[in-house]
Structure 1
């Protein structure tokens, strides 16, 4: 099979699990003997653009004719069987779909977030789930500056949604959602049911697994409000006030709240803030955990850290909504807490340090059933073959 992967890589100072997923899928397909090429742009390159070219970047968010021309040339040269689109913001745009349509190459697109129905892709604003822009002109997103807190910066994303939503829905043969919770949310917000399928992300196995009961509770991820970092801090303050749990809280990651977390942790003997970790240190830190903590307040589309913990035989304590409740079966592979409730989170953390090792064993067993590389390869090829066969039989997407 010949596959062309289309992706706009994220900025290096904001490491993205999406980039990792793309890289791992490409490597997996190549190892299985398939020919995989990439058509990529890198957001890091914007820093080296001339000032006039930087000023033009927002104009290319809704439509980038140069990207369309470049992809048309690649498709003519390489003639892939299928194109797999991931992220197109900010340097590619929906113009790549027109190039694929003109070349009669079927398109599969993985939805890593909610950009099909929300300009910022999060369905989250001001500390709560938000659907103000769904099914209407996305003026609320502009008014509230949902992208980077800036109304001006949000305008190109709002225009992109208005101009290209129907183009996406008619040009893509199959959308791959990374959880059923995400799929159901997108359907509830207007996306075509018959185009949406679930394909979990896979996670490479690890030789570093938990052998004892664990040394610490671990938060590993971006340090942002929607990820529940402030909620975790409030819950831990409750725990400390009642005498503690006997194990420390370790917080690893980077983001806008890094300074707040560092200052807060410095005043507590049972909290360690260790910043961003490399891959090996990350695996070792996860494997030494009593549990990983994922208290997200937004509707997570997946939970890579949860599945990485499963691979290491480590349970998770998660907010009981969205994909997190789908990944963690309460009392079996981990524990859930009431989303946004510090007292509920504190109680769940107290329970998890007293739970038997069976939670970790069950988490590992589920990993082996649903999230391994072999399962991921089977699922990817199934979706590719479906759209390729549809193209051969003339079952083109509605234009």
Structure 2
């Protein structure tokens, strides 16, 4: 199969699970003998632009005509079987879908977040869940400055969502959700279930599982409020006040709370702030852990760090909502705490460290869950199946002969 992968890479200064997923899928397809071309832009390149070039970036978010022309020309020359679209913000834009239509190549799109129904893609505002823009014009997002707390920065995203709804719906043969929890939210927003397939992210086999019970609890990810970092610090302070759990807490990552986390950890024996790990350091840190902690407040569409822990035979302590409920079987492959509740999180951390034998059994069960649902073999099979469905239906009408686009308001007119 000949596949074109389209992706706007996020900035490298902060960890991006999406970048990692894209790279891993490309490698997986190539290793299986498929021909894969990558059409990409890099957000890192914005810094090197002139002042005028930087000022023009917001104008390209809703539509980049140069990208349409360039991609269409390549598709006509290369004639791939399918185009797989990932992130298009900020430099690619939904113009990539027009390029696919120009060249007559079917497109598949992985939905890594909620940008189809929410301008910043998070369904969160001011530290809480928010659905004001779902099924309506995205004016509330502009009013509240939902992207980077800036009305001006939110405008291009809101405009793109408003003007490109029809383009997304008419231009994509198959939408791939990365969890059933995400698909359910999108279906409730008005997107028909039959156009949304669930294809979990896969994780490469690390090659070795945790050998013993572990020596630390690990938070690995973006240091941001939505990821539950302050919640974790509050829970850990409660644990420390009660005498601790015998192992330290390691926080690894970067983000807006990095300074706060570093200051909180400074001078403590029970906490270590590790900064940003590279890929090999991440694997080693996971393999040394009693459990990986994922206390996110957001409605996560997936939990990559949880599945990476499963692959290493390490259980997770995760928030009991969204995709985590789908990934973690409470009491079997890990523990689920009440979302947003520091006392519940503290209780789960105490439980998973108090019984090493039980923790090892959870780790073995987590590894079995990984092998059944998130291994490269499973990921490749699902990916190729979805490509085949898109290719087979490139000229077929939608169910009932209806080719009308999704409006995002519960109506497909």
Structure 1 length as normaliser, TM-score?
0.98
| 2:245–2:354 Cα contact (<8 Å) kept | no
Q: Give the stretch that moved more between structures: 322-331 or 13-22.
A: 13-22
Secondary structure of 1:349 counterpart: helix
Counterpart residue number, 2:248: 248
Secondary structure of 1:148 counterpart: coil
For residues 296-355 of structure 1, the C-alpha deviation after alignment (integer angstroms, 9 at most, x for no partner) is 000001111001100110000000000011100000000000000001000011111124
Q: Distance in 2 between matches of 1:92 and 1:214?
A: 43
Q: Distance in 2 between matches of 1:72 and 1:25?
A: 23
Q: Distance in 2 between matches of 1:289 and 1:276?
A: 17
Shift of 1:208: 3.5
| 2:15–2:254 Cα contact (<8 Å) kept | no
Q: Distance in 2 between matches of 1:22 and 1:166?
A: 25
Counterpart residue number, 1:366: 369
Task: Describe how 1:199-278 pairs up with structure 2 within 5 A.
Answer: 199-278=199-278
Is 1:44 paired with 2:49? Answer: no
Counterpart residue number, 1:340: 340
Counterpart residue number, 1:390: 393
Secondary structure of 1:116 counterpart: coil
Shift of 1:6: 0.7
| Change beyond 3 A, Cα 1:216–1:82 | same
Shift of 1:267: 4.0
Counterpart residue number, 1:30: 30
| Change beyond 3 A, Cα 1:169–1:392 | closer
Secondary structure of 1:57 counterpart: helix
Counterpart residue number, 1:140: 140
Shift of 1:359: 0.3
| 1:171–1:397 Cα contact (<8 Å) kept | no
Q: CA RMSD in A?
A: 1.3
Shift of 1:398: 2.3
Q: Distance in 1 between matches of 2:190 and 2:16?
A: 27
Q: Distance in 2 between matches of 1:24 and 1:197?
A: 20
Counterpart residue number, 1:375: 378
Secondary structure of 1:90 counterpart: coil
Counterpart residue number, 2:408: none
Counterpart residue number, 1:83: 83
Counterpart residue number, 2:410: none
Q: Distance in 2 between matches of 1:106 and 1:398?
A: 14
| 1:208–1:284 Cα contact (<8 Å) kept | no
Counterpart residue number, 1:162: 162
| 2:173–2:394 Cα contact (<8 Å) kept | no
Unaligned runs of 5+ in 1: none
Unaligned runs of 5+ in 2: 405-413
Is 1:185 paired with 2:188? Answer: no
Counterpart residue number, 1:103: 103
